[in-house]
Amino acid sequence: MNYEIKECICCWYDLLGFGSPFVESSWDLENSRCEINVHRITEIKDRFYGVSALGLGKSFILNDGVINTMDIMKTESNTLFEVRKFLGGLINDFSKINAIEKEQVLPGIRGVITCGQRYDYIDSDYMYTPSTGEIITYYPKEFQMNTAFSKAYIMEGSGSKYGISDSFLYIDKIVFSKIKWLLDLTKDYTVLHAEEIANNDSYTFNLCLPDNKVFFGMRFDAIPVHYDNKGIKTDLYRLKHYVCCIFAPQGAYLN
């Protein structure tokens, strides 16, 4: 193999029910029925920029959805902590968007986080016209060929037929495997991985410091969605609560 394949983690989420007003208005943005979509995007656009995850990974906004991706490099010992910050930022942005939507009695947002690989086959991000400097083609390296994005997009779009329902964030079990894969790189901290079923109704995934303080934790429905479609066979866990704080005691989760 004479080309470089990079491991990555990727999230795709988009607004639920966004297509209906377009269909009802025959896809005419000047139709009054489309005003609700313009309003929805305007209300949550700051979170679509990935404010909380700024500085880690790359984001790409596409209509009513956003892709966030970050390379996972096993040669760098700080990657685990960057992944923790990246995940925490994504979850926080997702939660804020859903809160804004729910306040206005709107359908909310749904997303999937998974891992995969990427290959950038063009060594640039865009093409421009030299005479004017105007960009005429976009092809961000991080999204040129990204199987993590493809998988997240397919799974999220599968809908309730495949168990992906309502305005929730689903996390692929491969994410847990990648975090464990990175654990042996930590040198500045001793990290204890804790994985448990709590009260028979939730699955908990914690990363703890030696004093039992959680610096990143997620709690999910105990029973995952068993997903098998288009070559993707995995378990998806529906997020219930999370904590992303280096001083949080075990059991202290945010909604």
pLDDT tens per residue across span 168-212: 999 999 999 998 888 877 766 666 777 777 667 888 898 887 777
- pLDDT in the model for residue 254: 46
> What are the structure tokens assigned to 166, written together?
């309502």
Alpha helices in the chain (DSSP H): 19-24, 35-48, 79-103, 147-158, 173-183
Q: 71 near 148, Cβ under 8 Å?
A: no
CATH superfamily of 6-181: Nucleotide cyclase, GGDEF domain (3.30.70.1230)
Question: For the chain, which ranges sit under pLDDT 70?
Answer: 1, 51-54, 75-78, 187-191, 198-199, 245-255
Q: Where do we find the tokens 């992906």? A: 164
Select from 65, 78, 90, 81 the least CA-distant residue to 10: 90
- pLDDT in the model for residue 212: 74
- pLDDT in the model for residue 85: 87
For residue 205, give every residue at least 6 positions away whose Cβ sits within 8 Å of its Cβ, in sequence order, or none: 176, 194, 195, 217, 218, 219, 220
Beta strands 169-172 and 109-118, pairing class? parallel
